[in-house]
Structure 1
Amino acid sequence: MTDPIDPILLDRAAELIRQADGLVVAAGAGMGVDSGLPDFRGNEGFWRAYPALGAARIDFASAASPATFHENPGLAWGFYGHRLALYRNTIPHAGFALLKRWGERMPHGCHVFTSNVDGQFQKAGFDPKRIHECHGSIHHLQCLEPCGDAIWPADDFAPSVDERACRLANAAPRCPHCGGLARPNILMFGDWGWIERRSARQGARLERWLDGVERPVVIELGAGTAIPSVRHFSHQVIRRGGRLVRINPREPEVPTRHDVGLASGALDGLSAIAARL
């Protein structure tokens, strides 16, 4: 059981949200934990979610790599196919709705920056044109080679996965242009073939939006220092005059005394702030 959150910090977080004219939601892997998604923190957590990979001593960085698609496509698509089905079937937790409501109250609305590839913000009703997926999306595909810069939706691919072996049991998706193997349009480990065109366009829209916001507040959720993409972005917004509410159960420290860090999971932290708004 976690310790109760300091009410003074909650009041300060609520005040930062009230004074803002635009909301930036910055989300890492911890955002999905309250929806029942694994966060792959350390090998033990990863192998609990994928025991077949644990038995073979294949870690997350190895499974999530283009090399595995080249060397063992059945296993690579077993891993990503299972994740695709999992994310399609997951219901976003109530914290998503709180963030959406807070953003809708602000003059400039809300924009999302996330390292998550799960599509949960779109599923929760956030405007797809106001979401920047900095590591790509599992719901989009590209050529493994790649033969070009095409990116297409994964809607027509319904993976059938042997979970005990973590292997794809049906046909893997193919590139419609060259017929070669397709892969998720996700930035993997050791990845020189990721097509970032879609993500880059999202990032440009976010930058244009930020240029018009005078008092942005970042609510950062479940973003740690191990893969610091989200934290780096939050700090960039601070340098532009924004403020930060960081919600993280293990690493809640904030860079300035004007910001607020809450040692909490995403849903608990958001719910506690909501009681002050």
Structure 2
Amino acid sequence: MVEAGEWTRGITRLAVLTGAGISTDSGVPDYRGPDGLWTRDPSAVEAFTYPRFMTDPAARARFWRTYAGHPAWRAAPNAAHRALAELQQSGTAVRVLTQNVDGLHQRAGLPARMVLELHGTIHEVRCTGCDIRTPTAATLARVHAGVADPRCDDCGAILKLAVVLFGEYLDDLVLDHARRIAAAAQLLVAVGSSLRVEPAASLCSVAVRAGARLVIINRDETPYDDLADEVVREPIGQALPRIVAALRDNRAALAA
């Protein structure tokens, strides 16, 4: 077990970059792990590629079938999600930059304004024509009723979840905001991310160049391990609550 180090001292501004690994304890599968979505079915990637989604009705039907029964709808926040929410509630300025689309950080108690969803959310559907956004539940009800390729009720265009697919660019405003948060942090903790998906992974180097400490909590090696002050390989559900407790204790000592 790696003890929380000197890098926990004096931290009042924390940024946390979270990937799929933080949600696996909630029953949400990751993508590239031993039980990951792409590992079990590499061909599924095609349905999550923007050009294929937009041109192939069969790919869209597969996409909607996948999400209609996705475990994320039944998932509850786990100890790692709750630890970050509790840290924010204790007075530390916590901003979460998440690659996840499951909304579990907010369900754990983090205010929505404290969570920047880099890759969007499964809880909204966006029309690719008129750009209107609607709650996902209404579209999934249509899918469950047998509509394989749902279209917008207003303009008839293709509907998609409000998530960033492969081949889509991140929203420039969201990415700029994330870079500002990373640059302003004293400590950036990357949790459960392979750090192989750019530009989200590059937030690690943005933080380090601005003078922040970097800690990586992940089962496997990442391309940014050499930049880190500490690399933690133990399970996220154990490591993150312990690190959060050290941050909270050190902040309390500062205030005493």
Contact 2:190 2:215 in 1 (8 A): yes
Are positions 1:180 and 2:171 aligned together? no
**Which residue, out of 37, 40, 56, partners 2:31?**
40
TM-score normalised by length of structure 1: 0.74
Alignment partner, residue 79 of structure 1: 66
**For residues 267 and 228 of structure 1, do their structure 2 counterparts lie closer, same or farther at Cα, with a shift above 3 Å needed?**
farther
**Partner amino acid, structure 2, of 1:147:** G
When the two chains are superposed, the root-mean-square deviation of aligned CA atoms in Å is 3.0
What is the percent sequence identity of the aligned residues? Answer: 26
**Partner amino acid, structure 2, of 1:255:** D
**Partner amino acid, structure 2, of 1:32:** S
**Which residue, out of 115, 120, 125, partners 1:141?**
125
Are positions 1:151 and 2:133 aligned together? yes
Alpha-carbon offset, residue 114 of structure 1:
1.2
Which 10-residue stretch deviates more, 26-35 or 120-129? 120-129
**Partner amino acid, structure 2, of 1:19:** G
Deviations 1:256-277 (A, max 9, x none): 46x1111122212113435644
Contact 2:195 2:201 in 1 (8 A): yes
Unmatched runs of 5 consecutive residues or more in structure 2:
250-256
What secondary structure is seen at the aligned counterpart in 1 of 2:239?
Answer: helix
Distance (Å, rounded) in 2 between the aligned partners of 1:89 and 1:209: 31
Alignment partner, residue 112 of structure 1: 96
Contact 1:135 1:186 in 2 (8 A): yes
Aligned length: 242
Distance (Å, rounded) in 1 between the aligned partners of 2:196 and 2:177: 27
Distance (Å, rounded) in 2 between the aligned partners of 1:152 and 1:17: 41
Contact 1:141 1:184 in 2 (8 A): yes
Distance (Å, rounded) in 2 between the aligned partners of 1:89 and 1:263: 28
Alignment partner, residue 225 of structure 2: 254
Unmatched runs of 5 consecutive residues or more in structure 1:
162-167
Contact 1:43 1:59 in 2 (8 A): no
Alignment partner, residue 102 of structure 1: 87
Distance (Å, rounded) in 2 between the aligned partners of 1:228 and 1:209: 17
**For residues 181 and 228 of structure 1, do their structure 2 counterparts lie closer, same or farther at Cα, with a shift above 3 Å needed?**
closer
What secondary structure is seen at the aligned counterpart in 1 of 2:25?
Answer: helix
Deviations 1:176-221 (A, max 9, x none): 4312331112221234xx7x6xx5444455455567x4x5211211
Contact 1:23 1:103 in 2 (8 A): no
What secondary structure is seen at the aligned counterpart in 2 of 1:219?
Answer: strand
TM-score normalised by length of structure 2: 0.79
Alignment partner, residue 48 of structure 2: 64
Contact 1:40 1:60 in 2 (8 A): no
Which 10-residue stretch deviates more, 171-180 or 86-95? 171-180
What secondary structure is seen at the aligned counterpart in 2 of 1:118?
Answer: coil
Alignment partner, residue 89 of structure 1: 74
**For residues 255 and 151 of structure 1, do their structure 2 counterparts lie closer, same or farther at Cα, with a shift above 3 Å needed?**
farther
Alignment partner, residue 254 of structure 2: none
Are positions 1:11 and 2:4 aligned together? yes
Distance (Å, rounded) in 2 between the aligned partners of 1:174 and 1:26: 34
Deviations 1:209-242 (A, max 9, x none): 567x4x5211211111432444311221111111
**Partner amino acid, structure 1, of 2:213:** R
